[in-house]
Amino acid sequence: MSALVRIGAEPGAVTRVVILSVVGVVFALPILALIEFTFRAGLTGEHTLEHWTGLFSEDAARTYRGLFQAIGNSLVLAAVTVVIVLVILLPTMILVHLRFPRLRRVLEFICIVPITVPAIVLVVGLAPVYSVVVKVLGGSTWTLAFAYGITVLPYAYRAIQANLDAVDLLTLSEAARSLSAGWVRVLLHVLLPNLRRGVLAASFISVAVVLGEFTIASILNRRNLQTALLQVSQSDPWVAAIFALLALLLAFILLLSIGRLGRDRKTS
Amino acid sequence: MTGATVELVGVTKSFGQHQALGGIDLTIAPGEFIALLGPSGCGKTTALRALSGLERIDTGRIVIDGDDVAEVPTNRRDIGMVFQSYSLFPHLTAIENVEFGLRMRQVEKTERRLRAAEALDMVGLDKHAQRFAHQLSGGQQQRVALARALVTRPRVLLLDEPLSALDAKVRVSLRDQIRRIQTDLGITTLFVTHDQEEALAVADRVAVMREGRIEQIGTPEQLYVTPSTPFVADFVGLSNRVPAQLADGRVSVGGAVVDQLGERMPDGPVTALVRPEDIAFDAAGVPAVVVASSFLGSLRRTQVRLDDGLLLAVQHDVSDRHETGDPVFVRLKGAAVSVTPR
């Protein structure tokens, strides 16, 4: 061998193309199969647009009312979950970062724990809590957002922490305070603009996680997009596949938006 | 812009068991430029942060123009501050950065744009107004930070090692610019640095700090020529440590007898702190051998070894050249020296 391969070396162009192609195929194949399935006409092997056009028919609104309602529920859940992340997690992380850096490891541990707990275990633990929640706030689907606020913690934490690590927030906040800014103004005019990318990433990842959640909603008997899709798929698997595709498309759009909206003015 | 009178009275501050400030007393006259000089961990930055309000003090008073501001939050102290690390807001352009303090003070948009432009012009960066921080060099960023700190016309300007991240040439140029602007505006300024050359070059008075206390405060000349403690003599400027004998306030060192600087000490063996410029090459001196010689631009510093192995630095005219290994003779010129117990 004329040259040794260095560990950690950047892969060559060909290697990169091969890796990206393999990964691309792994991701694309099921999606392409799903798309193809939505055009199938039963088991005949023929293809049709009927399943797609059927969604826009007059009967569709009535037939799939439950599904549309579930989509509405999921969007409300996503919004409330994002609010919980922004109102509770973000200020806590900023506070720990600026004033109590020694608590960072503790906060990190707390935020990462949910990823190690299976959803079914989480639900068993949450069931008695929700019996109280129902008494206090009623049985509306949006109350699931409290549970989702916990499940999205690891993802939201990572997204925000990466941004916190990249910016010297302590010096920026001290500079702003020396320039007559109170804490609210420091937060609005200095911290949030410099944490925009992390906040958007945390929000969109939270939305993506909420739109894909099934276990908690199903076991706590709430109706969201995923539970409704399962129900619809019993009678009409094509429509379930179409809505699954649309949910996936929405998640893609959200992820692409992170890059677009998160792009700084200084780099645009 | 007129400067304020600043007083730190018996200021103490501890971090856990570590006492960072052990009772600081410092008075800064209106328009005066004071440098806090000292080694790392001596408390100079803590003192500046206490004055800014970024650090709460344990005891003592911080008085600006007669008002005790110890309990006043940073944003209401009317100070301007330049930090060691680049602190420009990355999401704003240079002019927006400079405008920030005016925005926080609700200054009307047209006026603040005008004042920000003037401030940028003052630091020579009017052509870079629309650039973001990452499009500016380190020196330019610190100049924008200076303009940002001054545009609100604060009562006190605080500079926390603003030059330490810059390369040597930019450092000297910005140092001079800071001093010129400070003199023009007459703003009371506290400048923290660990670089003695920087402190001596720009400050009206320098306060040398050690272990949370001010060891000596005086003009650069006073600190250099008449240091009141061996620490100051050792820390400010370069000193040769030479074994000597002290008797009745006179120091016998290297064959010469000179006066002792500072507080009287008991007679006996001591270590004399002799400045390199207080030693001369002279055929009437003691024999030595040249070990090394450094060209320092306008002068030369040569290291020699005496017969007893003691190494001495001698500062002399640049035209007086000695090669390594040359036999020479050195003697003390007779200037008074500081001493420390041996």
d(CA A95, CA A195) in angstroms, rounded, equals 14
* One-letter amino acid of A182: G
Count of Cβ atoms closer than 10 Å to residue B252 Cβ = 14
* Complete domains list, chain B, with CATH: 6-226 (3.40.50.300), 238-341 (2.40.50.140)
* One-letter amino acid of B307: D
pLDDT confidence of residue A268? 47
Which chain B positions have a beta carbon within 8 Å of A174's beta carbon? 54, 74, 81, 83, 87
Angle (CA) B300-B302-B308 rounded to 5° is: 160
- Smallest Cβ–Cβ distance between A178 and the set B80, B133, B134 belongs to B80
d(CA B174, CA B146) in angstroms, rounded, equals 10
Confidence class for position B212, pLDDT limits 50, 70, 90: very high
Q: Is residue A211 included in any domain, yes or no? A: yes
d(CA B205, CA B192) in angstroms, rounded, equals 12
Contact yes or no for A174 and B91 at CB 8 A: no
Q: Is residue A5 included in any domain, yes or no? A: no
Q: Are residues A206 and A153 in contact, defined by beta-carbon separation less than 8 angstroms?
A: no
Which chain A positions have a beta carbon within 8 Å of B75's beta carbon? 177-182
Q: How many domains does chain A have?
A: 1
Q: Is residue A43 included in any domain, yes or no? A: no
Q: What is the DSSP letter of B204?
A: S
What is the chain A residue with the closest CA to B82? A175
* Contact with chain A for residue B149, Cβ under 8 A: yes
Least confident of A98-102, B104-108, B230-234: B230-234
Q: How far is B165 from chain A (nearest CA, A)?
A: 15
d(CA A153, CA A27) in angstroms, rounded, equals 26
Q: Is residue A166 included in any domain, yes or no? A: yes
Q: What is the CATH number of the domain that holds A198?
A: 1.10.3720.10
Bridge partner residues of B253 (DSSP)? B256
Q: Are residues A187 and A94 in contact, defined by beta-carbon separation less than 8 angstroms?
A: yes
pLDDT confidence of residue A265? 61
What's the mean pLDDT when you consider all of chain B? 93
Q: What is the DSSP letter of A141?
A: G
Which of A 149-178 lie inside 8 A of B, CB atoms?
A: 167-168, 171-172, 174-178
Instruction: Using CB atoms within 10 Å of the CB of residue B175, give its burial: 0 to 12 exposed, 13 to 18 middle, 19+ buried.
Output: buried
Higher-confidence residue of B38 and A41: namely B38
Q: Is residue A115 included in any domain, yes or no? A: yes
pLDDT confidence of residue A2? 47
Q: Is residue A32 included in any domain, yes or no? A: no
Higher-confidence residue of A53 and B37: namely B37
Q: How far is A169 from chain B (nearest CA, A)?
A: 9
d(CA B199, CA B203) in angstroms, rounded, equals 6
Bridge partner residues of B302 (DSSP)? B293, B314
Kindly state the average pLDDT of the residues B229-250: 89
Q: Are residues B246 and B270 in contact, defined by beta-carbon separation less than 8 angstroms?
A: yes
pTM: 0.80
d(CA B238, CA B221) in angstroms, rounded, equals 14
Phi, psi of B334 (to 5 degrees): 110, 5
B123-149 pLDDT, tens digit each: 999 999 999 999 999 999 999 999 999
**B2 pLDDT above the threshold of 70:** no
Q: Are residues A163 and A258 in contact, defined by beta-carbon separation less than 8 angstroms?
A: no
pLDDT confidence of residue A267? 52
pLDDT confidence of residue A140? 85
**B296 pLDDT above the threshold of 70:** yes
Cα separation of the two ends of chain B: 51
SS3 B89: coil
Q: What percent of chain B has pLDDT over 70?
A: 99
Domain limits for position A106 = 63-262
Q: How far is B39 from chain A (nearest CA, A)?
A: 22
Best residue in A168, A180, A265 for a mutation probing chain B (most B CBs within 10 Å): A180
Q: Is residue A160 included in any domain, yes or no? A: yes
pLDDT confidence of residue A129? 87
- Smallest Cβ–Cβ distance between A175 and the set B73, B83, B132 belongs to B83
What ipTM was estimated for this complex? 0.84
Which of A 176-195 lie inside 8 A of B, CB atoms?
A: 176-182, 185, 189-190, 193-194
pLDDT confidence of residue A266? 60
Q: Is residue A4 included in any domain, yes or no? A: no
Q: Digits of tens for pLDDT over chain A (268 positions)?
A: 445 566 667 788 899 999 999 999 999 999 999 999 999 887 777 888 888 888 878 777 777 788 888 889 998 999 999 999 999 999 999 999 999 999 999 999 999 999 898 888 888 888 888 888 888 888 788 899 999 999 999 999 999 999 999 999 999 999 999 999 999 999 999 999 999 989 999 998 898 899 888 988 988 888 888 898 888 888 888 888 898 888 888 878 877 876 677 665 665 4
